Structure 1
Amino acid sequence: MAAGKKILGLTALLLMLTLWASYFYVFNENRDGQLGGAGDSRAWCGTPPSGEAALLGKDQLTLRITNNLRGEFMLSGSVVVSERTFNRYDLGRNELRLRLEPLQWSYGVTPIFLEQVKVQPLSRNLSATDKSAFAELEPRPIGVQGQVAAFPFDTYRYGYKPVLYYLKGNERIDLRFKNITTQMEMSNTFTPIQKYNRVEYINEKNSMIRDEDYKAYGPHECAFSVERKGSFKVVVLLLLLILCLPLMHVFYRDEPGIDFLATLVGIAVVRTVLVGPVKDFELYNIDFLFGAAILLVGTVSLIKAMKAHSRREMALRSGATSSW
């Protein structure tokens, strides 16, 4: 056996072993349809989540942060205003507003753009014993720091301080809510990791780090790093290795043909499963890997097809010469 065939055989054997090992790892990590534990994609910061404040009619702001496979983040939530606060600030006439003040995400950068979130009109529950008012936040996309194109090694940083306020003429009056909770409810492929100070959140080796950067965030400041689960990265690896099977067939076949079509269909399916169809020609880093696989399979198939055609022509010429 030629050295090239031996290397090809060992590569094929290693590929099959890796495929089966990845498959059993993902199988063991899948628990009730979840990659890992059920709580791995959830976290919170601020006031511990509880329905007690709402039942007692206390001031409470709850933010819910969700996202999808593509790394797009959405914000929603609700606010409960006690009767005392409602009357004190005359929130029946003054529109309640919410702003999110972004935390510093890089040394030497001071965030100046605030995220404005619309609060729906307050609805008073006068029949209840606490006579509190309730309103939902209008769902909207939220800006985070991160690079979507780095999939599946993309990480995101969410860091904000929520502040409720209303306008009195040209003056902005901030409301001091004690119960503010931010709940991170990430999709199955992400894990939120809370950061407790500026050094952990920024995560940069920089000479500009000062002692005050190690100071813990305030009770209403919320900072998270959202990363892909290790088990999801193994799923991506498994799907990429499966795409190598048509390539191995191309090297083994003398006249490959259907392998190129199988590669195209396989890549289209894997790309759609992982990140969905291409939107406005927005390419991820992994798309260039897909493109390289298509070019490699197509090139090898074409070269082998050309060689096979040359052999057939030489055989026809040799046959015609001998008959002559």
Structure 2
Amino acid sequence: MGPGKKILGLTALLLMLTLWAGYIYVFNENRGGQLGGVGESTAWCGTPPSSDAALLGKDQLTLRITNNLRGEFMLSGAVVVSERTFNRYDLGRNELRLRLEPLQWSYGVTPIFLEQVKVLPLSRNLASTDKSAFAQLESRPIGVQGRVTEFPFDTYRYGYKPVLYYVKGNERVDLRFKNITTLMEMSNTFTPIQKYNRADYINEKNVMVRDEDYKAYGHHECAFSVERKGAFKVVVLLMLLVLCLPLLLVFYRDEPGIDFLATLVGIGVVRTVLVGPVQDFQLYNIDFLFGAALLLVGTVSLIKAMRLHSRREMALRSGETSTW
């Protein structure tokens, strides 16, 4: 066995050891189908979720932020209006609305666009003990700061101040709700992290940072970032390493085989499992790695096929057809 084959054999052994070690790590991180504890994928800000405001018939706004693997974030929730607020602002006739005022995400950018969330019609329940009205928020996507193409190292940020209001003539009247809760319920692969001040949320090294940037956000302001879990990054790495097996095989064998086809099928399966099929020709950074693997396998297979064809032609010319 030549030195090249020995190096390939040692590389394959190290690869297999890495795969098994990573598999054991992910297996130990598994908690009932979750990568890590369930609490690692949830967070909240504002009024504690265990608040009894709803039971006492107080004004309360609850927002729920969820996500999917493709980096799309959705907002839903509900609002409870007390009898006093309902009558004071005549919400039986005035449509209740919600706007999300974005917090500054960069020192060089001042956000001006507000996100409007539709509040469904209030359902009066004034005959109950708490004498309140209730309404659901229409689920809608929200715009976050981050790029999904950086998968699996993509991170997202979102900061806002929710304000309930109604329009009276040409005047916008804001309602002051004291109990506002935001629940972040992320998927298995993400970890939400609450940010408590502007400097921590913007997270930029800038000479414009002042002492007041470290002042805590207000009670109604909510900012957080979402990052991929370390265990999920290991899963992605293991799948990429599995694709190295046909790559090693095409270097190890003297004759080309179905290595290119095996790599192509493997890449298709891994890509679909991780980020889904290609949509609108949107490419992720990881797709260029897949492309490089295909090019490398295809190039090596083609070179070996050309060399094999050349040797066969030389053998035919020399009359040594019996060995072929």
Q: TM-score range by the shorter chain?
A: over 0.9
**Aligned to 1:39, what secondary structure does the other structure show?**
helix
Which residue in the other structure is 2:208 paired with?
208
In structure 2, the partner of 1:274 is 274
What is residue 155 of structure 1 aligned with on the other side? 155
Tell whether 2:193 aligns with 1:193: yes
In structure 1, distance between residues paired with 2:28 and 2:306: 46
Deviations 1:42-101 (A, max 9, x none): 000000002622121110000000000011000000000000000000000110000000
Between the two proteins, what is the percent identity of the paired residues? 88
Q: How far apart are residue 244 of structure 1 and its match? A: 0.3
The answer (yes or no) to whether the contact 2:64–2:77 under 8 Å persists in 1 is yes
Partner of 1:292: 292
Read off the aligned partner of 1:259 and give its amino acid letter: D
**Correspondence for 2:76:** 76
Q: Structure 2: how far apart are the matches of 1:156 and 1:98? A: 23
What is the correspondence of 1:229-240 to structure 2 with a 5 Å cutoff? Answer: 229-240=229-240
Partner Cα distance (1:20, 1:256) in 2: 28
What SS does the corresponding residue of 2:319 show, helix, strand or coil? helix
Structure 1: gaps (5+ residues)? none
CA deviation after TM superposition for structure 1 residue 7, in Å? 2.2
Structure 1 residue identity aligned to 2:312: R
1:15 corresponds to which residue?
15
**Residue 283 of structure 1 corresponds to which residue in structure 2?**
283
Matched residue type, 2:165 = Y
Distance 2:72 2:174 in 1: 29
Instruction: Name the SS of the counterpart of 2:286 in structure 1.
Output: helix
| 1:48 corresponding residue in structure 2 | 48
CA distance in 1, matches of 2:131, 2:65: 28
Deviation string for 1:276-315 (max 9, x for gaps)?
Answer: 0000000000000000000101111111111111111111
Q: Which residue does the alignment assign to 1:313?
A: 313
* Partner residue, 2:59: 59
Q: Give the distance between the partners of 1:218 and 1:127, measured in 2 at CA.
A: 35
Q: Is the 8 A contact 2:83 2:126 kept in 1?
A: no
| TM, length-normalised to structure 1 | 0.97
3-state DSSP class of the match of 2:280?
A: coil
- Judged with a 3 Å threshold, the aligned counterparts in structure 2 of structure 1 residues 109 and 320 are, in CA distance, closer, same or farther, namely closer
Q: CA deviation at 1:320?
A: 6.7
2:224 corresponding residue in structure 1? 224
What does the per-residue CA deviation read over 1:94-130, in whole Å, with 9 as the maximum and x for residues that have no partner? 1000000000000021100000000000000133112
Using a 3 Å threshold, how does the CA distance of structure 1 residues 320 and 43 change in structure 2: closer, same or farther? closer
SS at match of 1:194: strand
Match of 1:87?
87
> For the residues of structure 1 that align with 2:192 and 2:113, how far apart are their CA atoms?
24
3-state DSSP class of the match of 1:145? coil
Q: Distance in 1 between matches of 2:320 and 2:307?
A: 20
Letter in structure 2 aligned against 1:122 = L
1:114 counterpart letter in structure 2 = L
Give the 3 Å change call, closer, same or farther, for CA 3–320 of structure 1 in structure 2: closer
Corresponding residue number in structure 2 for 1:38: 38
Partner AA of 1:80 in structure 2:
V
Listed one character per residue, the Cα deviations across residues 210-251 of structure 1 (whole Å, up to 9, x for unaligned) are 111010000110010100000000000000000000001101
- SS at 1:138's partner residue? strand
Give distance in 2, aligned partners of 1:276 and 1:321.
50
CA distance in 2, matches of 1:256, 1:223: 55
Q: Which amino acid aligns with 1:248?
A: L
Q: How many residues align?
A: 322
- Structure 1 SS opposite 2:24: helix
List 4+ stretches of structure 1 deviating above 3 A: none
For structure 2, list consecutive stretches of 5 or more residues without a partner in the other structure: none
Name the counterpart of 2:245.
245
Over the aligned positions, Cα root-mean-square deviation in angstroms equals 1.3
